[in-house]
Structure 1
Amino acid sequence: MSVQPYVFFNGRCEEALDYYTEKLGAEVLLKMRYKEAPPDPHNPPRAGLEEKIMHASIKMGSTVWMASDGHCDPAAKMEGFALSLTADPAVAEKYFNALADGGQVTMPFQPTFWSKGFGMLVDRFGLMWMVTLPED
């Protein structure tokens, strides 16, 4: 069994994927727009979603996760999960700072009783991240 996070960016998926690709070295494996989906007369997409991302698969390190623009509902909130990024000491704090740019740090990157480096933040897209150094 494997569990993959599926993240809904509420209309900002393309921007988020570009940012994670540039700042964290993510690789977009698949990106399908709503206009590329086969027509479904029982569930047509809302007008204006044609260029939005219906589904994407992203690889970061050895992890593959999925993302979408969702239904682009301004009232939607993203909460109830976090993505955990474990990185080598040479780059962990760099990644933390990149994710914090335009976001909100909830716990600064610092030594803790379980790690020589750990921090938490909510990035500019509303995703909660935990960045940690691996155990020795």
Structure 2
Amino acid sequence: MNWFYSLELNQVDLYMAQSKLVKDIYISKVLERSSFIEQQHVDNIAAQIKKFGGEPTMLGDIISPILGKTAGNITAAFGVTSLLKADIMLEKKAMSDYKDLIIKIGKDDELFSLLWSNLIDEDLHTSWFASKVEELESLH
């Protein structure tokens, strides 16, 4: 679960950094909203880790935000299309990992539902990003 905690923390800062650097207001707002959704994932995963007697990783608390912000700044420098393609790759990795964990844990009601909700959010982000890439590439 700490892997997902760190991954989601990374995405919070990645999308927030990107949202501040993208000039298109709509894309900026979608990235900002995506960051907010990822923060909900962080909070929910932290609660589950604590429910099972653990503590969210301190290393993730420190490193993931730095990596996310740095990656957000770097990807934004290559333009919106490249930024969104990088985000799609990250979301696909998250979806793959969520699917793997869902299969491993079985149907613990609360955790099962949480993981499915996060997976669906990641899929929705991916779909929006891919649709926007297609739209932007059709303009060139």
TM-score normalized by the length of structure 1: 0.30
Name the structure, 1 or 2, with higher relative contact order (CA <8 Å, separation 6+). Answer: 2
- Which is strand-richer, 1 or 2? 1
TM-score normalized by the length of structure 2: 0.30
- Which is helix-richer, 1 or 2? 2
